[in-house]
Amino acid sequence: MKMYLLAFLLSWVAISAARAEEGPSFDCSKAHSNVEQAICADTGLSRLDLELSAAYRLALQGGTVDKKSQIDWIKRNGDCITENHDQPSCLRKRFERRIAELTTSHDVGNGQAPQSDPSAIEAKDVCSYVATRGPTIAKELIRDGALEANNDGRPYQATISGDGTTAGGDNLEFRPMGVSPQASAIEIDFGGGDRLGPPGGFGARWLKRGRRVYTLHFDSESLHWPSYLGYIDPVNVEHTVCQFGGAQTETLVPDQPRSAGLCRAAFDDKVRDLDLNSDDADDAPEASGRPWTTISGSMTVDFRNIGRQEPIALLEFDGAAGRGCAFSYYEATKDGRPTSTGEAHIVLMKLQNADPDGHEPGLTCGGNEPSWFEYGGKIYFDNKSPSDPQGPYHTVSHIKGDQIERICHAEYTTKWTVKSYGSIE
């Protein structure tokens, strides 16, 4: 096996210039390894191997590559066989990427363009840097600018555009310098790299670290939770460098010093929660009279603190358009059904940032947990969402008649962690 490996490496590094134009660069009658045999069995791969040989020879003569880096690259190609990939497709992408790297390093010749993918040391450095910086890295992220977006040594117009669909979200795009922003962007293969999982999230930014440009993807446009760090190679294939996880700690802070005791009691769950009567739940949207909305239950409570109890219901909005939208909110009722008229309705819609007509909720869509509690003889409204796309929130409010006052709000300490590394190194 060692002799075969040695022959395999030498056959690629010590390139023959007298090989036929159709390739490959070595004698197929002496092919021993699975990779060599796969190359010989595929006409396209054979031609790419010959092209790679020429690019390597020029780069070697120009001093922009060394034999060790080529040998290391050859060794890694065994992954296309051992990991049960679509072998020709996997090898073809590897060859095209390596040819682009070698050609770029020869053409640019200034030592500024990376000559290979990020090493394991580079991957750990940039991923650890992102995780350590956490949400504060937002000020370093790039939305628009001249960047070597695909790490080929040439600047491009890199930008973030809207998705253009009902789902929304950020799109990473780059174009040659000088072309119109309306011109078609260079196509990025987001599925062809070595991924640990599917593309994640609706937020994205560019990140420059050292000589390289990376892509940083987030769960949402708020850039609160990162999903993965990517790297686009010179043939425009994005690879996963690492994936992220994280945790957050909440502190409920008083808006005014006099409310510190109340906020502490609410956070420690030392208040009297008011129960919802789920017997009145109705899964039929027509029961609520509003699109995509069902009734989860009802209650009678003096929520306006006016000395008179009023009937209200908890409604669940679940819209399927775009990426989906889930939101829970309280509404005034009349004769057991939600109503869009009256003072109670107006106050509740204002409290929850909901549509004044009561047909749809407000801007938040990540799922929330609204509730009521009693403390010190007064009724308070508690509303929280730890995973809203616009960022987590938790507030406590008090209503007096038609006046609404926020009493407490949450502050979060967020910690990002590196969950796993990709196979790019």
Question: Is the pLDDT reported for residue 111 higher than 60?
Answer: no
Name the residue type at position 348: L
How sure is the predictor about 20, in pLDDT bands with cuts at 50, 70 and 90? very low
Residue 362, pLDDT score: 52
Q: Tell me, what's the pLDDT at 334?
A: 92
> Tens digits of per-residue pLDDT, 338-383?
998 999 999 999 999 887 554 455 546 778 999 999 999 999 999 9
Q: Is 173 exposed, middle or buried (0-12, 13-18, 19+ CB in 10 A)?
A: buried
What DSSP character marks residue 58? H
Question: What confidence category does residue 81 fall into, taking pLDDT thresholds of 50, 70 and 90?
Answer: confident
What is the predicted pLDDT for the residue at 202?
Answer: 82
Residue type, 41: A
Q: Which residue has the tokens 């008011």?
A: 274
Residues 421, 425: Cα–Cα separation, whole Å: 10
Among residues 250, 202, 247, which one has the least CA distance to residue 227? 202
What predicted TM-score, i.e. pTM, was given to this entire model? Answer: 0.65
For 62-80, what is the mean pLDDT?
79
Mean pLDDT taken over the chain: 82
Dump pLDDT digits (tens) for 221-269: 888 899 999 999 999 999 999 999 999 999 999 999 999 999 999 999 9
Residue 2 has a pLDDT of: 40
pLDDT at 50: 82
Q: Exposure pattern of 337-351 as b/e (b: 16+ CB <10 Å)?
A: ebbbeeebbebbbeb
- Between CA 24 and CA 43 the distance in angstroms is 9
Please name which of 305, 269, 310 lies closest in space to residue 377, comparing C-alpha atoms. Answer: 305
Structure-block tokens of residue 135: 């949400």
Question: Is the Cβ–Cβ distance between 205 and 160 less than 8 Å?
Answer: yes
In angstroms, the CA 238 to CA 300 distance is 56
